[in-house]
């Protein structure tokens, strides 16, 4: 007896259902995180240390939370972040997320390690629908160049280079489930070692030698805006500005890489004052991901200066449990929570969200 979709009232409900109904190996791969899973818990917990300072008696009859991301107009300040192996959760894989992103007019980031072929995911999108490419950089730069230029040719509007995974983290839940069938459109042609879990089995092509010196090369092979995904300290945000990239995603990869990495919301709170102090806040777009489950989480990130937020596991869980209807409902729930909570804090537009609406005193001191 599986709960009806209508009985899922928030994103966490989808996780509870998915845990019960998903195949064990799929649940292990999606839900796992590094080591003792401290960082993955902190990602969500950190939001609980931020409180609102709402404004009263503001006319909030009309609320508008449309915004732009890398120049694209979107209906809500969240995007579908890249998560590998969509077919573990649903037979159709990533194209389910493509369709939901279309319906809600938000952006989907296509993972290098998608289960569906890249072209299949692009073909599943409507003509004017915007997608981004998440890139794991191959040791063989000819392969990387081909992937990037093909994505640009197919209309991708952003290149998100993952920089927090020179080696895949140790996800023991995933390893224990003895992964055997990645079902991935693996673009690496590497031999795999299935005893290491799904993640390790498909990721050995990733180049651990990738460094700041490579950024100009990426800028020379594509005109897509470049965003570094997985930045974790303000010093590196400043380097990213200097390198001339268009954005960063403050992220610890959903707690799946470095254990005891800080939450992105905390890194964001550290970053924005430094950027403002140097007059750099308009030079780069700052995104965050990790642990975002509620409209209030999104509002807190935007108040602190994020341009938008990425959401990973909740959409995978909704897709695995209920398919397209599930992802559509998850996105609608987030939009409903956004609308209600913008009213309750006294903001009618995204550009009215600022730090004065927050009390962040216990974010760092707890």
| Catalytic residue positions, numbered | 136, 164, 253
Please state whether beta strands 67-69 and 72-74 pair in parallel, antiparallel, or not at all (unpaired): antiparallel
Note the Cα 16 to chain centre separation in Å: 20
How many residues at the interface with ligand FNR, by CB under 6 A?
24
Closest to ligand FNR by CB, 11 vs 350, is: 11
Restricting to residues 307-366, name those near ligand FNR by CB under 6 A. Answer: 310-313
Q: Pick the closer one to ligand FNR by CB: 253 or 300.
A: 253
Q: Among all residues, whose Cβ is closest to ligand FNR?
A: 312
Site string for ligand FNR, 91-120 (x = CB under 6 A): --------------------x-x-------
Residue 111 has φ and ψ, to the nearest 5°, of -80, 145
Residue 39 or 67: which CB sits closer to ligand FNR?
39
Q: Where are the alpha helices (DSSP H) in the chain?
A: 11-21, 24-31, 38-45, 95-104, 118-123, 141-153, 172-176, 197-202, 215-221, 234-243, 264-277, 295-303, 313-345, 361-364
**Site residues for ligand FNR, window 289-318 (CB under 6 A)?**
289-292, 310-313
User: Which span (81-89, 137-145, 174-182, 357-365) binds ligand FNR, by CB under 6 A?
Assistant: 81-89
Taking the alpha carbons of 189, 195, 200, 204 in that order, is the dihedral positive or negative? negative
Nearest approach in angstroms of CB 89 to ligand FNR is 9
In angstroms, how far is the first alpha carbon of the chain from the final one? 41
User: Residue 86 Cβ, how far from ligand FNR at the closest point, in Å?
Assistant: 9
Specify whether the CB–CB gap between 250 and 211 falls below 8 A.
no
Q: Which of 254, 305, 308, 323 binds ligand FNR (CB under 6 A)?
A: 254
What sign does the dihedral 205-211-214-218 (CA atoms) show? positive
Structure letter (DSSP) for residue 349: B
Q: Give the footprint of ligand FNR on residues 164-223 (CB under 6 A).
A: none
Binders of ligand FNR among 25-44, rule CB under 6 A? 29-30, 43
Nearer to ligand FNR, 236 or 357 (CB): 236
11 near ligand FNR, rule: CB under 6 A: no
* Residues in contact with ligand FNR by the rule CB under 6 A: 29-30, 43, 81-84, 111, 113, 134, 162, 229, 251, 253-254, 256, 289-292, 310-313
């Amino acid at each position: 007896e599986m709960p009806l979709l209508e009985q899922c009232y928030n994103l966490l409900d989808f996780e509870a259902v998915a845990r019960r109904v998903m195949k064990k190996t799929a649940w292990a791969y999606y839900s796992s995180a590094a080591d003792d899973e401290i960082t993955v818990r902190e990602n969500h917990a950190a939001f609980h240390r931020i409180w609102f300072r709402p404004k009263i008696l503001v006319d909030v009859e009309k609320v508008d939370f449309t915004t732009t991301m890398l120049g694209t107009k979107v209906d809500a300040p969240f995007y579908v972040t890249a998560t590998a192996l969509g077919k573990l959760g649903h037979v159709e894989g990533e194209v389910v997320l493509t369709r939901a992103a279309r319906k809600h007019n938000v952006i989907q980031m296509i993972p290098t390690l998608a289960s569906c072929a890249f072209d299949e995911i692009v073909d599943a999108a409507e003509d004017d629908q915007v997608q981004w490419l998440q890139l794991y950089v191959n040791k063989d730069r000819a392969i990387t160049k081909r992937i990037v230029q093909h994505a640009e040719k197919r209309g991708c509007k952003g290149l998100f280079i993952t920089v927090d995974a020179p080696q895949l983290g140790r996800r023991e839940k995933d390893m224990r489930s003895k992964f055997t069938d990645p079902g991935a459109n693996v673009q690496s042609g590497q031999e795999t070692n299935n005893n290491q879990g799904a993640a390790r089995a498909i990721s050995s092509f990733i180049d651990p030698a990738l460094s700041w010196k490579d950024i100009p090369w990426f800028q020379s092979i594509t005109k897509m805006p470049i965003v570094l995904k997985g930045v974790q300290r303000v010093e590196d945000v400043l380097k990213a500005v200097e390198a001339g990239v268009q954005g960063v995603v403050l992220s610890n990869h959903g707690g799946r890489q470095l254990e005891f990495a800080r939450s992105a919301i905390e890194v964001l709170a550290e970053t924005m004052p430094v950027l403002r102090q140097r007059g750099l806040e308009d030079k780069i777009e700052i995104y965050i991901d990790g642990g975002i489950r509620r409209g209030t989480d999104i509002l807190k990130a935007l108040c602190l200066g994020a341009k938008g937020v990425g959401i990973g596991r909740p959409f995978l869980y909704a897709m695995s449990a209920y398919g397209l209807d599930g992802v559509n409902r998850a996105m609608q729930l987030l939009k409903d929570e956004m609308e209600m909570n913008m009213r309750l804090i006294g903001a009618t537009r995204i550009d009215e969200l600022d730090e004065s609406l927050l009390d962040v005193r216990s974010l760092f001191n707890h």
